[in-house]
Amino acid sequence: MPLTPADVHNVAFSKPPIGKRGYNEDEVDAFLDLIEQELSRLIEENADLRQRVAELDAELADAKKNRGPVNAVKAPVVPEPVKAAPPPPAPMPVAAPVAPPVAPSADANLQAAKVLSLAQEMADRLTSDAKTEAEQLLANARANSERLVGDARTRSEAMVADARQKAEAMLSDAQTRSDSQLRQAKEKADALQADAERKHTEIMATITQQRSVLESRIEQLKTFEREYRVRLKSYLESQLEELENRGSAVPVDGGEFSDNASGNGALLKGGK
């Protein structure tokens, strides 16, 4: 099935699947438009060449038709030579016979030969010219077609190479950007992790220090408690011993009890 400009104009390519590489739609459309224009021009030029060849064929046919009457003139009917009359039986003195007029067959043959030769030369010349012109037109058309096809192939290869180069450049740039973003993200993640570990270490150190301080304070309180208990026990034992020495019947003076209570309070304050 021959390819027509309408086929080139109406051709439609499917888009590549997601993630697959494809050509630039604008560049492909521009190249198809160029092919359509060149194909239309070649078709018009071929039509003109066919019309010219048809005209040359018609001229050649006319030349061949003109050769028909010339060939008919070429072979005229030549009258048969008159046979000599038999000699008379007896010689008689007669007048010399007048020779009959010569028929113009030789001039007609010569004229016909000249016309035929001219017609043949013209036909040969027209045929040769038509053949030469047709061959020249065909050679020019073939050379022009090959040149156009070569130019189109060169442009197509250049466009494909340029598109491939652009695609590779875009892919390389995207890969570079991706690597840079991944590197930055990794650096940021490492920095965040290091900062978190540092803060965790600082917090744990602070907690450990506070724990040590609290444990030391607790030990101090425990020591104070033990000492306080010992001192309180000693004081109470001394008071009990003093009471036992005085006897259970001796009334206890209110002022003395107040002094003892004050002394106990001072003791407690001194223990703290």
175/183 Cα distance (integer angstroms)? 12
Interhelix angle for 25-74 vs 105-246, to 10°?
A: 170
- In this structure, what token pair is assigned to residue 124? 């040969």
> Three-state DSSP class for 213?
helix
The residues spanned by each domain of the chain are 24-73+108-191
pLDDT at residue 94, as a whole number: 39
Residue with tokens 């991944």: 182
Cα gap 250→244, rounded to integer Å: 10
Residues of the chain with pLDDT under 70: 1-3, 68-120, 122-123, 126, 130, 134, 248-272
- 52-74 pLDDT, tens per residue? 888 988 888 888 888 755 454 44
Q: Specify the pLDDT at position 258.
A: 45
User: Among candidates 210, 189, 159, 211, which has minimal Cα distance to 30?
Assistant: 159
Q: What is the pTM of this model?
A: 0.30
Q: Tell me the C-alpha to C-alpha distance, in Å, between residue 99 and each of 103, 129, 187, 270.
A: 12, 52, 136, 196
- Side chain identity at 148, as an amino acid letter? L
Instruction: Report pLDDT for 219.
Output: 93
pLDDT of residue 25: 79
pLDDT at residue number 262: 47
Please tell me the predicted confidence (pLDDT) of residue 206.
93
What is the reported pLDDT for 272?
45
pLDDT at 86: 46
Residue 227 CA, distance from chain mean position: 92
Q: How far is 150 from 51, CA to CA, in rounded Å?
A: 27
